[in-house]
Chains A and B, each alone.
Chain A
Amino acid sequence: MVTIGVLALQGAFIEHQQMLEKVGARTVQVRLPQHLHDLDGLVIPGGESTTIGKLAIAYGLIDPLRHFAQSKPTWGTCAGLIFLAKDIGIDSQPILGLMDVCVDRNAFGRQADSFEVDLPIKGLKGDTPFHAIFIRAPIVRAVSEGVETLAQIDDNTIVAVRQRHLLGTAFHPELTKDLRLHQYFYDMVAETDSSSP
């Protein structure tokens, strides 16, 4: 069985757990480095990225998380995408710096500018677009070679990316009832799991 950890320092981690369990994964809450043992994949949820970063430093999680996500499938949503990125425009906030993307925090503005929209996503099963919920969301301003754009709005704003075993979304699939992205990530984890010795 596939076991997926959900970083549970702060934010919407329970919603991710519930959806991952619906697609067949076992889930574990990750608050300390030892909770990463024996996981096949990891989700870094939405929440406040500054808070998550500070708590990760306080309990020595940065290096273990970075080490984990260098080889194991890891998915960041919203704050989690910021956490995975190599460049977020400021140096003061702790990040893992693994994905070759440039991310702008709060790119759409304040809560008044939060929005929902139907979004076509590359690689998702079914013909219907994904109903994407953007809350004080970041965007991917630039991607390097090797990063695949899975979704964009207005044809130029990138909001979902994949780089090998790393997945990033600027919106919140865990706040919808649509399981397709969780299924997509589950499949990424299951493939890696069966291909390793």
Chain B
Amino acid sequence: MTDNGVDNKGEEKGTENLKRGLAQMLKGGVIMDVVTAEQAKIAEDAGAVAVMALERVPADIRVQGGVARMSDPDMIDSIINTVSIPVMAKARIGHFVEAQILQALGVDYVDESEVLTPADEEHHIDKTKFTVPFVCGCRNLGEALRRINEGAAMIRTKGEAGTGDVVEAVRHARKVIGQIRQIQNMNEDELFTYAKDIQAPYHLVKETAELGRLPVVNFAAGGVATPADAALMMQLGVDGVFVGSGIFKSGNPEQRANAIVKAVTHYNDAKILADVSRNLGEAMVGINVSALPDDQKMAGRGW
């Protein structure tokens, strides 16, 4: 059996269908950042559809500074052995060896993430070379389609991780969804020029225009801290939500995790949203993105 090959039983593995398909199964769900096996268990018990294993949540990366890297394989193993839901883990942008290691550990998805310190300022990972699927961040349609062209099987809008301020997540989701709405009304000539302007491959721009959505699942991320934030992103048109620091940096992680899961399923039901928003205790403290100097913003990493 070779990678992306067919074995003697006629079974194919590591295909685009399978990579994108797993993301389809996560839709309408919440993916939670966890740094220990105990947190992973809390996330699974609260109804998370997957966990993102990382060494420090983005809020701590901001406070502590230094180079943020892939997590210790022991920590990833312990999480894989603790929960039955899919386990994702982050690799630095362009660090294809970290991605090879994560694939060898058997993680279900690799996040090539701007939350970690980039390892390459010109190249993203060639994700087509891997059998493990990748999720990548974006701020606009061009960035999303460039990542898909490199082999990303799932997209998340970047937002501004570790702030608890949803404003950038909203900006990026509105940008991507607004641009898709725009291209749906374009003719071929206009699509060619538009693809050139946003530096995206024409065939993906055309496919997106025809589908009226990205060709892969699109989650929101970066600053979601409350059930209302999560439902806001869902109503804007994303397929699901990543919550990073928002859960385990809050006063009552179990209850907040549970509430955000319910808010994503019932995102159109304001009565349920009101109920799940009650008595959640302290939300994460948060940083206003507008008060954050540009060199401390993570969303600008990657291109």
A residues whose Cβ falls under 8 Å from a Cβ of B: 8-15, 31, 46-48, 50-51, 54-55, 58, 78-79, 105-106, 110-118, 133, 135-136, 153-154, 172, 175
Contacts and interface: CB of A to CB of B under 8 A. Distances in A.
A10 B27 contact: yes
A12 B239 CA distance: 10
A175 B24 contact: yes
B133 interface: yes
A116 B265 contact: no
Interface string B20-34: 011011111100000
A13 B28 contact: yes
B109 interface: yes
Contact of B21 (A48, A106, A112, A135): A135
A116 B18 contact: yes
B220 interface: no
Interface in B142-177: none
B50 interface: yes
Contact of A47 (B28, B44, B46, B262): B28
Contacts of B264: 10
B86 interface: yes
A51 B29 contact: yes
B15 A12 contact: no
B4 to A, nearest CB: 11
A46 B262 CA distance: 18
A154 B9 contact: yes
B132 interface: yes
Contacts of A10: 27-29, 49, 264-265
Contact of A46 (B25, B50, B108): B25
Given A111-B22, A114-B13, A117-B9, A51 B48 contact: yes
B24 A12 contact: yes
Contacts of B80: 110
Contacts of B45: 54
A136 B300 CA distance: 34
Interface in B64-107: 80, 84-86, 103, 106
B184 to A, nearest CB: 18
Nearest to A55: B265
Nearest to B106: A110
User: Top 3 A-B pairs ranked by shortest CB distance?
Assistant: A111-B108, A115-B11, A54-B47
B12 interface: yes
A117 B25 CA distance: 19
B83 to A, nearest CB: 9
Nearest to A8: B28
Nearest to A174: B24
Given A136-B22, A175-B21, A48 B29 contact: yes
Given A118-B10, A135-B22, A51 B47 contact: yes
Contacts of B10: 117-118
A13 B13 CA distance: 24
Nearest to A46: B25
Given A10-B265, A112-B106, A117 B29 contact: no
A47 B49 contact: yes
B261 A48 contact: no
B266 interface: yes
A135 B84 contact: no
A54 B25 contact: no
B65 to A, nearest CB: 33
Given A9-B28, A78-B25, A115 B12 contact: yes
Contacts of A106: 84
Contacts of A51: 29, 47-49, 85, 261
Contacts of B261: 51, 54-55
A46 B84 CA distance: 15
Nearest to A53: B47
Given A10-B265, A111-B109, A115-B18, A48 B49 contact: yes
Contacts of B11: 115-117
A153 B28 CA distance: 31
A195 to B, nearest CB: 34
Contacts of A111: 18, 22, 86, 108-109, 132-133
